Chain A
Amino acid sequence: MLRQRLTHIAMSLFVTWQTLAIVVAPAPGSYLSDALRTVMQPYLTLLRLDSQWDFFAPNVGEGSRLRYIVEDKDGRQHTFNPAKQLSWFHPNYFWVRGWYYAIMDDPEIYADAAIERFCKEHAALHPVAVTLLEMQEERFTREDFLAGKDRNDPHFFNARTIKHAQCPE
């Protein structure tokens, strides 16, 4: 009887804890949620439960596209849109984009390795240097569409140079 009661109490305590974790993890910052989070953070991190559920929220937001320019030994420039080769039907559609976003967001960590990789990938061009660019999307409204404009028109992108580096010898 005592064992049953203790089991019941233990189960109750755990489900309360787990429910709190489910609710606190995505909660916005507040005095209460921050206090609870201080206690729960190790548990949330260990089990990968520290997740937000803000898909396309609060706004859809404009994305960015990675471009890179390979300069060959003759000085010619070749522009590549690497995400274009990816297919919806393969999960690398999102994996590779995750890497591209990391290159754009944290170039000090990821840019050099990416440049080295692109140099190797395009070895047939005899690359000398690679320039990484972030093409930041501008809003494309319904009015733009009805006016006959193309979403991929350069007018709807801001180009930002992420890094320019020589290819390794």
Chain B
Amino acid sequence: MTFASFLRARLAALSDLWSRIWFQDRPTTPLEITRIGVGIALLIHYALATPYLSDLWGDNGWVPRDVAITNDPWSLSLLFGVTSPWQLAAFHYVFLASCVAFILGWRTSWVKWFLLIGQISYDHRDPLLFYGVDKILAALLFIMCLAPVGRAISLDRVRAVRAAKRKNLGATLPQFTSQWTGACTRLMQIQMATLFFYSAVSKLGGNDWWYGDAVWYVFTTDEHYSPILLRIFASQYWLVNLATYGTILIELGYVFLIWQRATRLYLLALALFLHAQFALLMGLYYFSFTMMMGHMGFVRPEWLTNLGLAWKTKIGAMEMIYDGRCGFCVRSMVWFLAFDGLQQIGIRNFRIDPSPVVSDEKMEKALYLVLPDGRALPGFEAYRYAVLRVPGLWWMVPFFYIPVLSRAVGTPVYNYIASHRSQISTIFISAQRGA
């Protein structure tokens, strides 16, 4: 073997290793969990800021504009261009609406960028508010902007599935995967591991952590003062040492062991436990929840797949029997099934494939849902049963489960629609042609 061919072989091996580390074909599901969690955290956090808008970001607030605008040309904020309270309010409400859209995964590909720009604008406009959680948010939001989030557990996904099912009701859309998703997931993992690494090693430079006293002093500060905990710790000081050293061990252990298949689940659990303690004992709810969402980058897609399969097995197979001759019925099915991300509900068009469980005569009057135990539920009851057992339809549960009222209104409404479905179908088709 010549040196050139040896070099070529080594480079090829390195390139292959690089691709296996960075560019594995991955689904977006772990990042979607981060997306939903970060969106919820941002929405609650900034919604609670609404009564304090002028104090926090207004010209007559805590930070005058000329103080916020520094000499750094890269410290930019859209809020530097806001000159009146109504503009600030408009910016704020558009930001909150973007949070909602981000949570729901609606038009995610551009909403996420507005969220990032909005968050940075808030940070640069009032740097006094910038603390730990905002640091991690900036990092996570940027990675999510880079990643193709919104491809799963989202209204964007529902829209895509609906488009496929309009052509063929039985169509299924494969799970979105890409190498770039793998790269973005890896970036998020590196971000979290780096954060924990620097957090741990910077602590080791101080006597409070080295001698195991840090947790005691945390709870003596004004921000986290807790006389109850101090009373417990004073009499059981070993708890302070355990918590202090435990924090460093978890942070350091995470950096090295989170990557291993055998230890990832345990380190994830420990990290989540650590943040739960920060939330409950130190009042750092927003920070802890955001950090937990960052850790979701280490959730293996196979865990989520297995969770989905376990759920499907537990609930059992359901079959929805519908009238394929009724356009309105088919469109309703398209709309309904687009939310069935786990594909728990099978379908049968009784016109071409009669059901052995429900007679055609019954099918002329209502749609039916055949349950795993062989029972068949008609109409409104069918939908009511399904929405509780299909995660994508859980948002409809409040409408179907208002005591007395849901059935009192839902059943007659369904029966009316079912008995007039041909006319309704005709009206819809005419309306579409007119449009």
Give the B-binding residues of A (Cβ under 8 A). 8, 11-12, 15, 18-19, 22-23, 26-27, 41-42, 45-49, 51-65, 83, 88-95, 97-99, 101-102, 109-110, 113, 137, 139-142, 145-146, 151
Whole-angstrom CA separation of A114 from B26 in the bound complex:
52
Q: Is the CB of A53 within 8 A of B128?
A: no
Of B63, B67, B220, B234, most buried by chain A (CB within 10 Å of CB) is: B220
Q: Is the CB of B218 within 8 A of A99?
A: no
Nearest CB on B from A16, distance (A): 9
Given known A-B contacts A12-B18, A83-B222, A55 and B62 have beta carbons under 8 A apart: no
Contacts of A91 in B (CB 8 A): 45, 48-49, 286
B323 part of interface (Cβ distance < 8 Å): no
Q: Is the CB of A57 within 8 A of B203?
A: yes
Known: A55-B132, A56-B208, A95-B49. 10 other contacts (CB 8 A): A46-B76, A47-B142, A49-B138, A58-B202, A59-B206, A60-B206, A60-B217, A113-B62, A139-B220, A142-B237
Contact pick for B75, options A26, A45, A55, A139, CB 8 Å:
A45
Contact pick for B52, options A45, A55, A95, A110, CB 8 Å:
A95
Of A11, A48, A52, most buried by chain B (CB within 10 Å of CB) is: A48
Interface residues of B in 156-208 (CB under 8 A from A): 179-180, 183, 186-187, 190-191, 194-196, 198-199, 202-208
Q: Chain B: which residue is nearest A151 at the CB level?
A: B220
B380 part of interface (Cβ distance < 8 Å): no
Stretch at the interface among B85-93, B104-112, B225-233: B225-233
Q: Is the CB of B138 within 8 A of A57?
A: no
Q: Chain B: which residue is nearest A42 at the CB level?
A: B74
Whole-angstrom CA separation of A41 from B142 in the bound complex:
16
B353 part of interface (Cβ distance < 8 Å): no
Closest CB pairs A-B (n = 10): A58-B206, A88-B283, A51-B135, A57-B202, A48-B138, A59-B206, A58-B205, A60-B217, A45-B74, A54-B202
Q: Is the CB of A151 within 8 A of B283?
A: no
Contacts of A97 in B (CB 8 A): 223
Contact pick for B190, options A19, A49, A101, CB 8 Å:
A19
Q: Is the CB of B128 within 8 A of A63?
A: no
Contacts of B62 in A (CB 8 A): 99, 102, 110, 113
Main secondary structure of the interface of B (DSSP, over half): helix
Q: Is the CB of B131 within 8 A of A94?
A: yes
Given known A-B contacts A22-B194, A49-B138, A98-B129, A8 and B218 have beta carbons under 8 A apart: no
Nearest CB on B from A159, distance (A): 14
Whole-angstrom CA separation of A36 from B186 in the bound complex:
22
Whole-angstrom CA separation of A64 from B222 in the bound complex:
8
Q: Chain A: which residue is nearest B70 at the CB level?
A: A45
B32 part of interface (Cβ distance < 8 Å): no
Q: Is the CB of A60 within 8 A of B221?
A: yes
Q: Is the CB of B120 within 8 A of A59?
A: no
Q: Is the CB of A22 within 8 A of B199?
A: no
Contacts of A8 in B (CB 8 A): 19, 23
Contacts of A56 in B (CB 8 A): 203, 208, 214, 218
Of A11, A59, A61, most buried by chain B (CB within 10 Å of CB) is: A59
Q: Is the CB of B234 within 8 A of A146?
A: yes
Q: Chain A: which residue is nearest B67 at the CB level?
A: A109
Q: Is the CB of A142 within 8 A of B216?
A: yes
Given known A-B contacts A19-B190, A62-B221, A95-B129, A57 and B205 have beta carbons under 8 A apart: yes
Q: Chain B: which residue is nearest A28 at the CB level?
A: B202
B72 part of interface (Cβ distance < 8 Å): yes
B56 part of interface (Cβ distance < 8 Å): yes
Whole-angstrom CA separation of A46 from B76 in the bound complex:
7
Contacts of B205 in A (CB 8 A): 57-58
Nearest CB on A from B205, distance (A): 4
Question: Can you show 25 pairs from A to B with CB atoms below 8 A apart?
Answer: A11-B180, A11-B183, A15-B183, A19-B187, A22-B194, A48-B120, A48-B138, A49-B139, A51-B135, A51-B138, A53-B196, A55-B199, A56-B203, A58-B203, A58-B208, A59-B214, A60-B206, A60-B208, A90-B48, A91-B45, A94-B131, A95-B49, A95-B128, A113-B62, A145-B230
Whole-angstrom CA separation of A151 from B208 in the bound complex:
18
Contacts of A99 in B (CB 8 A): 62, 128
